[in-house]
Amino acid sequence: MSLNRFARTCRNCVVVMAMFAAACGGDPEKLKREYLTAADAYVGREQYAEAIIEYRKAIEQDGRFGEARYKLALAYIKVNDGNRALDEAVRAADLLPEDVDAQIQAANLLVLAGRYADAQDRANAVLERQPNEVRATVVLGNALAGLKDLDGAVAQLEEAIRLDPTRAGSYTNLATLQLNAGRLKEAETAYREAVDKAPDSVPTRLALSQFYWLTSRLEEAERELQVALQAEPRNVLGNRFAAAYYQATGHADKAEQYFRAAVDADGSSRARLALADYYIAAGRVPEATTTLQALVSDKTVGSTAKVRLASLDYDAGRVDAAAAAIDAFLKEQPRNVEALLVKASMLFDQKQLDEALARATAATAVDPTSAPAHFAKGRILAAQARREEAKDAFNAVLKVNPRAASAQVELSKLYLQTGATASAVSYAGAAITSDPRRADARLVLARGLIVRGEYTQAESVLKELVAAIPQVATVHAQMGLLHLARKENAAAMASFRRALDLDPMELEAVHGIVALDLTSGRREEAFGRLRALLDREPNHAGLLALAGNAYLATANLAEAESLLTRAIAADPKLLDAYSNLGQVYLRQNRIDDARREFERRAGLESRPVTSLTMVGLIYQMQKRTAEARQAFERVVALDPKAPIAANNLAWIYAENGGNLDVALQHAQAAYAVTPDSATTADTLGWIYFKKELYPYAIKTFGRAVELDPKNPTLHYHLGLAYARSGDAGRARTTLETALRLRPDFEGAADASKVLAGL
């Protein structure tokens, strides 16, 4: 239904936004089942690409929908997308622990991906419940065979550490596996027998050491590792394994001797580069610089050494020299991935995001298997608020290196920003499984739990963080938000104040304490705090936006407009500032200005469903039907089930000579998403009425009246349908009800005319 027929008059943004929020509702449980059914139908017709889209929509409604994730994994297999299949299969198996097919599918894909320990864990879980399950036995054998690929395992750990040197322990979930009775005991026996037969074999000892590591028996793992190195102190693989082991288990200080031993034993430039990387990760810049300078003329790693030296210059504040060195290097080697990423990082720091993205994208084109390249691209896209594309980039990281917990954390943040809290919690949990000490993952997890109303679990997470890192302001701010959600205002205020003592620019704490001041009538304290902070940081985009929202909430529209305009100037990618500025203009009845702000926001988004919907609504307020139709058509092209756009577009087609069959499709789509909306029911009924399908019209109008019994227009429409179908008695009763509810409603004259003619 059109905006003016739905609400008759929208004089300010409060009405618009309230209508928008209400119409965007719907039952997620019902929606996910509808998407699942549609996807299954596509699979039946072997239309796997279409099925994938519908399965993903189901998961957007419920990130813990295991059945949809399992079927999505199977669909990805059909289109030969093994990486995405693995990702979804593992999540499905986590969500469906009793489903044997899901566990075995995940285990098989894990073996193919080289994640043998995880595959082994899945297989053992099945065999504990069903000892005679042949498929699980086969998977277990493949997994145990794969665990002997020590060189591959070490290489993956080393690559993970290079991806994020500050979190060397974050990329392995080896220490999280449960020690299962039975099958793992048999595996241990097999490894021990191999060692007994060849006690001086370094590979055999290392295989046993890795087995213990995988099963959380770190003391035994270290013992076997040391026995292997005592047998062959100059064994290159053994020293590489030891260095990776100590870095990944949080003992980076012990790793240096093994890097040095590998250099002494091997003498290769690659071993010396690995030592330099260790020094960089440890913050030992002079040693790293000396080691790298000795490598710049090396034919194998000289280019890498030059790039890393430039990075060290940049980190040390020698920005111009570093930029000049990288630019000169890229002229000689424009396809060097590491140089492209360093340049992208420099541009990112300078907020030249488009140029930074171009370099990162070039790096992924040169080497599609580079996890750092995909990670850099994801970071830039996230900063540009291109969230769906950023998700794809971070998922690409996980396909290349499943141990990259940093990508899982970033995905969790993105899903939280888009309201998909189930997925946010799932990704944060996965990162914590990789490294229980990872504070940023725990913070995102706590945020997701608070949004979901799971306060007890959130409190448990936050208490651990407060105990572990009491000097981090963000932790106290998050605790304040938890108290605020529980309406524990005094405790919330104390937490916010503690956060601001640690960091006066902790914006979540500022937001929380300002909100408490405003709701308690302490306006002067709230705005005084904001003015003081703005005096210190006059161009801080986030603070400007926060202050603008506070003034908007108190109806100081002139000040809100000024601050939000400054926020956008400081950071043009601050999407919410456009929406809030649009609200300011709507409240001032500056409709064209409001529309322009939503259009500006839409221009910055990769999937601007909400922004374009607001543009269409504003055009309808202005009775500019053609422009409204175009805006809504753009929305349904992006999302055919976007309820407001589909509903309003259906009404426009029906009332302006459009194709009624197309109008019916849009109305049905909107009603399927919002079955408890009287508005969408009325629109669907009206199109049935115009198509002379009166029994359908009566049923649908009846549902609308049931949902909103005091709305005279709905009774009027139902009365018209009864009259056209020949049921004069019900038509009379319904039309009289409409006129009794409000004698002057929009269709009153026509209702009286029809009533007189019965």
More confident residue, 303 or 17: 303
Q: What is the pLDDT of residue 5?
A: 33
Structure tokens at 27: 């039952």
Q: What is the DSSP letter of 170?
A: G
Above 80 in pLDDT, residue 575? Answer: no
Secondary structure element (H or E) that encloses residue 385, with its range: none
Q: What is the pLDDT of residue 44?
A: 80
Q: What is the pLDDT of residue 1?
A: 36
Q: Is the dihedral of CA 54, 58, 60, 64 positive or negative?
A: negative
Q: What is the pLDDT of residue 262?
A: 84
- Residue 171, helix vs strand vs coil: coil
480-530: per-residue pLDDT in tens? 999 999 999 999 999 999 999 999 999 999 999 999 999 889 999 999 999
Could you tell me which of 238, 298, 291 has the C-alpha nearest to residue 265? 238
Structure tokens at 120: 């082994």
Q: What is the pLDDT of residue 738?
A: 92
- Is the distance from CB of 671 to CB of 687 less than 8 angstroms? no
Query: How far is the C-alpha of 533 from the C-alpha of 281, rounded, in Å?
Result: 35
Structure tokens at 555: 């109806």
Q: What is the pLDDT of residue 145?
A: 47
Distances (CA, A) of 701 to 676, 687, 716: 12, 11, 9
Above 70 in pLDDT, residue 303? Answer: yes
Q: What is the pLDDT of residue 180?
A: 30
Above 50 in pLDDT, residue 695? Answer: yes
Distances (CA, A) of 134 to 96, 137, 272, 615: 20, 5, 47, 59
The CA-CA-CA angle for residues 640, 642, 644, to 5°, reads 130
pLDDT band, very low/low/confident/very high, at 476 (cuts 50, 70, 90): very high
Could you tell me which of 431, 440, 441, 394 has the C-alpha nearest to residue 172? 431
Above 50 in pLDDT, residue 170? Answer: no
Query: How far is the C-alpha of 477 from the C-alpha of 512, rounded, in Å?
Result: 8
Q: How many CB atoms lie within 10 A of CB 145?
A: 11
Residues for the chain: how many in total? 758
Secondary structure element (H or E) that encloses residue 601, with its range: helix 591-604
21-48: per-residue pLDDT in tens? 333 445 677 788 888 888 888 888 778 8
Query: How far is the C-alpha of 445 from the C-alpha of 462, rounded, in Å?
Result: 9
Spell out the alpha helix ranges (H) of 622-693: 625-638, 643-655, 660-673, 678-690
Query: How far is the C-alpha of 532 from the C-alpha of 543, rounded, in Å?
Result: 11
- Residue 739, helix vs strand vs coil: helix
- Is the distance from CB of 603 to CB of 586 less than 8 angstroms? no
- Is the distance from CB of 213 to CB of 179 less than 8 angstroms? no
Question: How large is the average pLDDT for residues 129-151?
Answer: 56
Above 90 in pLDDT, residue 261? Answer: no
Could you tell me which of 524, 478, 572, 529 has the C-alpha nearest to residue 537? 529
Query: How far is the C-alpha of 232 from the C-alpha of 240, rounded, in Å?
Result: 13
Structure tokens at 202: 């370094």
- Give the 3-state secondary structure of 686-735: HHHHHCCCHHHHHHHHHHHHHHCCCCHHHHHHHHHHHHHCCCHHHHHHHH
What is the distance in angstroms between the CA of the first residue and the CA of the last residue of the chain?
A: 27
Secondary structure element (H or E) that encloses residue 469, with its range: none
Q: Position of tokens 């524990």?
A: 488
Query: What is the per-residue burial (b if ≥16 Cβ within 10 Å, else e) of 184-196?
Result: beebbeebeebbe
* Beta-carbon contacts of residue 27 (< 8 Å; ≥ 6 apart): 675, 676
Query: What is the per-residue burial (b if ≥16 Cβ within 10 Å, else e) of 602-622?
Result: bebbebbbbbbbbbbbbbbbe
pLDDT band, very low/low/confident/very high, at 437 (cuts 50, 70, 90): low
Could you tell me which of 573, 639, 562, 632 has the C-alpha nearest to residue 600? 573
Q: Position of tokens 């929606």?
A: 31
Secondary structure element (H or E) that encloses residue 641, with its range: none
Distances (CA, A) of 21 to 15, 24, 576, 677: 10, 5, 16, 12
- Is the distance from CB of 575 to CB of 568 less than 8 angstroms? no
350-408: per-residue pLDDT in tens? 888 889 999 999 999 999 988 889 999 999 998 887 888 899 999 888 877 666 778 88
* Beta-carbon contacts of residue 324 (< 8 Å; ≥ 6 apart): none
Could you tell me which of 597, 628, 592, 594 has the C-alpha nearest to residue 613? 628
More confident residue, 573 or 128: 128
Could you tell me which of 71, 1, 89, 88 has the C-alpha nearest to residue 32? 71
Q: What is the pLDDT of residue 158?
A: 52
Mean residue pLDDT of the chain comes to: 82
580-631: per-residue pLDDT in tens? 887 888 888 888 888 888 888 888 877 788 788 888 888 888 889 999 999 9
pLDDT > 90: percent of the chain: 33
Q: What is the pLDDT of residue 433?
A: 65
Question: How large is the average pLDDT for residues 342-351?
Answer: 90
pLDDT band, very low/low/confident/very high, at 696 (cuts 50, 70, 90): very high
Query: How far is the C-alpha of 712 from the C-alpha of 734, rounded, in Å?
Result: 9
- Give the 3-state secondary structure of 172-231: CCHHHCCCCCCHHHHHHHHHHHHHHHCCCCHHHHHHHHHHHHHCCCHHHHHHHHHHHHHH
Torsion of CA 616, 617, 621, 624, to 10 degrees: 10
Query: How far is the C-alpha of 307 from the C-alpha of 374, rounded, in Å?
Result: 19
pLDDT > 70: percent of the chain: 86
Rg (CA), the chain: 31
Question: For the purposes of burial, counting CB atoms within 10 Å of the CB of 446, is it exposed (0-12), middle (13-18) or buried (19 or more)?
Answer: buried
Q: Is the dihedral of CA 330, 332, 335, 336 positive or negative?
A: negative
Q: What is the pLDDT of residue 160?
A: 46
215-242: per-residue pLDDT in tens? 667 889 899 999 989 988 888 888 888 8
The CA-CA-CA angle for residues 382, 383, 386, to 5°, reads 45
pTM across the whole model: 0.56
- Is the distance from CB of 217 to CB of 209 less than 8 angstroms? no
